[in-house]
């Protein structure tokens, strides 16, 4: 029987050999291990979801702290940026950003200098948007809610994939060992049968 129903029936026989007289002890061990792997993969879903939820909550808290302690500002480049504004591969895509010395003022009016990222080929005196922390030092842009959600989903999927992969790896390893043992048993039986046929 082919199709989804046929595959389901075949999987059912694989995980539950029942009283089949042809089923070997190794087949029953393999069936039990496969069943445990499938059940473990399903049981890992809520566990991975809980970890993903905790990751989202932690990242969301961090994002809220960043938004509370960082603010946007504008820096002025002190020199022209090196490089070309577009890549030279003919695709017309913007080139990667480069660093340039720049100056900016914090909320207290104190002047700061440092290297900031800007587009290649930008002239001196270009206005560059930046983010500052509470001390007026350069900081990264605060995390957004979507980034926190993506981190949570990624953590959940990664954990579930790791657990499922470990279970699948264990099943494949045991199945390989059982297959080798079965093959060795067949070889011994065949050798004994050939030996007996000579007499």
SS3 content of the chain, % helix, strand, coil (to 5): 55, 15, 30
Per the structure, the complete domain to which residue 154 belongs is given by 24-64+146-197
- Based on the fold, state whether residues 85 and 181 are members of the same structural domain: no
Residue 191 has pLDDT above 70, yes or no: no
Q: Which residues contact 31 (CB under 8 A, 6 or more apart)?
A: 14, 15, 16, 17
Question: What proportion of the chain, given as a percentage, has pLDDT over 90?
Answer: 45
Q: How confident is the model at residue 31 (pLDDT cuts 50, 70, 90)?
A: confident
Domain end, chosen from 126, 141, 156, is at: 141
- On whether residue 192 sits in a domain, the answer given is yes
Q: How confident is the model at residue 1 (pLDDT cuts 50, 70, 90)?
A: very low
- The pLDDT score that the predictor gives to residue 153 is 95
- 190 or 3: which leads in pLDDT: 190
* Alpha carbon distance 142, 156 (integer Å): 23
- On whether residue 1 sits in a domain, the answer given is no
Over residues 89-140, the pLDDT tens digits come to: 555 555 578 899 999 999 899 999 999 999 898 899 999 999 999 899 999 9
Strand, coil or helix: 87: coil
* Alpha carbon distance 58, 38 (integer Å): 31
Residue 60 has pLDDT above 70, yes or no: yes
Residue 92's region, left for phi above 0, alpha for psi from -120 to 50, else beta, is left
- The pLDDT score that the predictor gives to residue 194 is 65
- Between the CA of residue 1 and those of 4, 17, 22, what are the distances in Å? 9, 18, 21
- Between the CA of residue 138 and those of 62, 69, 94, 168, 180, what are the distances in Å? 18, 12, 24, 46, 61
- On whether residue 6 sits in a domain, the answer given is no
Mean pLDDT of all residues belonging to the chain: 80
- 148 or 9: which leads in pLDDT: 148
**Structural domain total, the chain:** 2
- Based on the fold, state whether residues 150 and 180 are members of the same structural domain: yes
- Based on the fold, state whether residues 75 and 136 are members of the same structural domain: yes
Over residues 146-161, the pLDDT tens digits come to: 889 999 999 999 999 9
Q: Once rounded to an integer, what is the mean pLDDT over residues 169-174?
A: 87
- Based on the fold, state whether residues 83 and 124 are members of the same structural domain: yes
């Amino acid at each position: 029987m082919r199709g989804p129903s046929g595959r389901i029936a075949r999987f059912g026989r694989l995980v539950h050999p029942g009283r089949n007289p042809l089923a070997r002890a190794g087949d029953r061990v393999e069936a039990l291990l496969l069943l445990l792997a499938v059940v473990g993969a399903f049981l890992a879903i809520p566990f991975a979801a809980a970890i993903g939820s905790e990751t989202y909550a932690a990242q969301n808290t961090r994002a809220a702290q960043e938004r509370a302690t960082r603010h946007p500002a504008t820096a002025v480049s002190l020199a022209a940026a090196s490089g070309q504004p577009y890549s030279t591969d003919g695709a017309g895509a913007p080139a990667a950003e480069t660093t340039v010395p720049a100056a900016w003022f914090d909320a207290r009016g104190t002047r700061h200098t440092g290297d900031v990222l800007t587009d290649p080929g930008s002239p001196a005196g270009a206005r560059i948007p930046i983010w500052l922390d509470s001390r007026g030092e350069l900081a990264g842009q605060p995390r957004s809610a979507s980034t926190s959600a993506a981190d949570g989903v990624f953590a959940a999927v990664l954990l579930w994939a790791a657990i499922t992969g470990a279970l699948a790896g264990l099943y494949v390893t045991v199945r390989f060992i059982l297959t080798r043992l079965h093959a060795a048993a067949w070889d011994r039986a065949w050798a004994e049968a050939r030996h007996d046929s000579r007499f």
